[in-house]
Amino acid sequence: MAKDKAEGKPAQPAAAAAKEAAKPAAPAAAAEKAVSKSSDELEREFREYSVAEFFKRNRQMLGYTGKVRSLTTIVHEVVTNSLDSAEDAGVPPEILVEVSELPSGHYKIVCEDNGTGVPKSMVGQAFGKLLAGTKFHKLVQKRGQQGIGVSYAVLFSQITTGKTTHVKTGIGDGKVFECDLSIDVKKNDAVIVNQKEFDGKFRGVRIESEFSEVTYNRSEHSVYEYLRRTAIANPHAQITLIEPDKNVAVFPRATKEMPKKPEAILPHPLGMTTSDLIDMAHTSKSRKLSSFFTGEFSRFSSDRVKELQALVPEVNMERAPATLTWPEAEKIVQCFHKMKWIAPDMGALRPIGEKQIEKSMKNMLQPEEMRVVERKPKVFRGGIPFVVEAGVAFGGKAGTAASDAPGGRKAEILRFANRTPLLFDAGNCAITEAVNTIDWNRYDLKDFENQPVTVFVNFVSVYVPYTGAGKLAISAEDEIVEEIRMALMECARNVSNYIHALRRAKEQEQRRSIFTRYVEEIAQALHDVTGKPKTMLADKLRVLAKEKTALLDSVGEVMEDALEEVEEAAEEEMEESGENPNHVKKK
C-alpha cells in the first residue's frame, strides 16, 4: 500500500499537469479569434477624413479658444481679406465692421469692403473650402498664407449656430451676386443656396454671419483693439467699427498713399530642404535639370550649374527633373551650402516705411517723443529675406491706461507680421523675446512695464515663420530676434535723449528754485546795506541765478554725454563679439 502510494504520487501531478496544459488551448484560440476580430473591426472603422473635419474638432489650433478671442479671430480673418482685396484693386481700403448682439445671445458680424470682389465661379472656393486660395503656393509677401481663415469663420458659424453665411459680391460689368453658403464637412466643399444675380453698382464684398460661443468687450484682446492696431500698421486704410451698443468708432486713414504691390520671388538655393527640392523637381515643366535650376531658382546662373555639376558629377544635368532621386537631392542641397551665392532678392519686400509709421503713430498716439527705424534687409534660414521695422513712442497716449501704474499708463508692445496685428500668444513670439532681452534701464526707461511707452515692431517677409496654424506668433529664429533687438535699441537711444532733456529741465528748475527762494530776502538785506533799490537788486539776483544754473546744466550735459558714448561703444563691441550679457541667444 505504501508502495502504491509511492508509485501513485508522481502519477497524480502528471495528470494534473496534463490537465492544466490543456486548459490554455481554449483561451489561446479565443485570443487568436479576438485579435482577428479586432483587426477586422479596425479595417472596417478605418477611414479617411477631410481637413474640415480635422479643424472642426481642433479649432483651438486656429485661435478659436475663449469667447473674446474667437470673436477677434473671426474679425481678423475677414478684415485681412478685405485689406488684401482693396490693395489688389489699387484703392485705399474702406472697411466697415459691425458687431450686433441678438436677442438669442448670439452675435451677428457684418464686414463690408471696397475691394475687387470675388468672381461668381470662385465664391464657393473662397468662402467654403479650407486650404484653398491664391497665396499658399507663391513666395510673396502676404498677410495670410494657408487658405483657412475666412472659410473657417464660415464653418465656425455653422457649427455654433447651424446657420449659413450670407455673401454679397460685385462681379464686374455692373452685376452683383448674392448667396447663402455653408460647408460640407465630410467633403470639405461649399454648399451654395439661394443664389441670385442682378444689376447694381455694388463693389467689393459684404459677408454676414451669426455666431454663438463668442462675446464682445473692449479688453486688450478685443475686436476694438485689433482694429486699432490694424489702423496703425495700415495708415492708408479707413476702418469703421459699429459696436453692439451702436457706438461708432472710426479709425481714420493717415495717408492716401498706397503701398506698392508685393511681387513674387523665386526661391533661393540656401533656403531649400531636400523635400522642397524633390517636390519642385517632380512638378517642374522644365526638360532638363540645368534649365530647372536656372529658371526656377533665384541667383542660379549657368556658371552655378557648372559649379554644381563639378560637385555632384554623378548627377547628369541633362536629365529630366522628374528623375531626381532623394539621395541625389540630398547631396545637391548639401552642395548648395558649400557654394557662394548672391543674397536673395530684397526688392520684393514691402515694408510700411518710416514716414508712414510716424504719421500713423502720431495720428493714433500723439506721443511727446517718437523714433521709427527701418533696418536693412536680412535673411534667415540661409535664404529667406526679411525686414524689421520698429518704433518707440513715449508720452501722450502711448502705452495703455492702467490705474495701478505710477503714471496712469503701462507699456504696450504692438506686434505685427506683414502689417497684421498679433494679439495672442505673446509669450512665444520672437518680438516679445527681443523686447525682454533689452536692458531698458540704460535708456532711462526704468521699470519699463510701468512707463507710458509703446513699442511697435513689424516683421516683413515673403515667408513668416508662424509658431502655429493660427498665425498668432513669430518663431524665435536667432537672426530675427537679433534684428528686432538692434532696431529697438536704435529707437530707444533717441527716446532716451528726450527723457534726459526732461530730467535735466526738471533738475534745472529745482536748482533755480533753491536760488530764487531767497532772492527777496537777500535783495532786502543788500538794500539795507547799500541803499540801492530792492527791485533792481532782486532782478539782478534772478539773472545771476539763471546763469549759474545754466552753467551747472551745461557741465552736467557734457559729463552725461561722455558717459553715454562710452557705454554705447562698450555695448556695440559686446554685440559684435556676442558677449552681451543682456542677450540670451536661443540654443
The tens-digit pLDDT sequence of the chain (587 residues) is 444 444 444 444 444 444 454 454 455 555 555 555 566 776 666 666 677 788 788 888 887 888 999 999 999 989 998 998 898 888 999 999 999 999 999 999 999 999 999 999 999 988 988 866 554 445 566 775 555 778 889 999 999 999 999 999 999 889 999 999 999 988 888 999 999 999 998 999 999 999 999 999 999 899 999 999 999 999 999 999 999 999 999 999 888 888 888 777 888 898 888 998 999 999 899 999 999 999 999 889 999 999 999 999 999 999 999 999 999 999 999 999 899 988 887 777 889 999 889 988 888 889 888 899 999 989 888 788 899 999 999 888 999 888 877 778 999 999 999 999 998 888 889 999 999 999 998 888 888 999 899 999 999 998 889 887 777 899 999 999 999 999 999 998 888 887 766 666 655 666 666 667 777 878 788 777 888 888 887 887 778 777 766 655 554 454 455 445 545 555 555 555 555 544 444 43
CA distance 360 to 341: 38
DSSP-based helix, strand, coil % in the chain, nearest 5? 50, 15, 35
What residues have CB less than 8 Å from 348, skipping those under 6 apart?
Answer: 140, 141, 262, 263, 264, 265, 385, 462
CATH 3.30.565.10 in the chain, residue ranges: 68-251
H helices present in 162-255, as ranges: 223-233
CA distance 29 to 42: 20
CA distance 93 to 116: 11
pLDDT for the residue 8: 44
Nearest to 8 by CA among 437, 174, 16, 394: 16
Q: Which three cell numbers stand for residue 311?
A: 560637385
CA distance 166 to 36: 51
Q: Please give the DSSP secondary-structure letter assigned to residue 410.
A: E
The residue count of the chain comes to: 587
Nearest to 583 by CA among 481, 448, 503, 464: 481
pLDDT for the residue 36: 54
DSSP H or E stretch at residue 267: none
Phi-psi region of 299 (alpha: psi -120 to 50; beta: other; left: phi over 0): left
Tell me the C-alpha to C-alpha distance, in Å, between residue 417 and each of 387, 457, 458, 540: 10, 8, 6, 60
For the chain, the C-alpha Rg in angstroms (whole number) is 35
Q: Which three cell numbers stand for residue 336?
A: 548648395
CA distance 249 to 220: 16
The cell 477631410 sits on which residue? 50
The cell 473635419 sits on which residue? 53
The CATH classification number of 269-336 equals 1.10.8
Fold for 68-251, please state it. Heat Shock Protein 90 (3.30.565)
CATH 3.30.230.10 in the chain, residue ranges: 349-587
Phi-psi region of 575 (alpha: psi -120 to 50; beta: other; left: phi over 0): alpha
State which amino acid sits at residue 511: R
Q: Which three cell numbers stand for residue 287?
A: 526638360
What residues have CB less than 8 Å from 418, skipping those under 6 apart?
Answer: 141, 142, 143, 458, 459, 460, 461, 464
Angle at 400 between CA 478 and CA 446, to 5 degrees: 60
The CATH classification number of 349-587 equals 3.30.230.10
Residue 537: Cβ within 10 Å count: 19
pLDDT for the residue 4: 46
Task: Confirm if 67 and 160 have CB atoms less than 8 A apart.
Answer: no
Phi-psi region of 415 (alpha: psi -120 to 50; beta: other; left: phi over 0): beta
CA distance 545 to 381: 62
547 CB-contact burial (10 Å; exposed 0-12 / middle 13-18 / buried 19+):
exposed
Task: Confirm if 80 and 177 have CB atoms less than 8 A apart.
Answer: no
Q: Which three cell numbers stand for residue 491?
A: 529707437
Nearest to 61 by CA among 552, 466, 453: 466
What residues have CB less than 8 Å from 26, skipping those under 6 apart?
Answer: none
Nearest to 327 by CA among 338, 317, 315, 339: 315
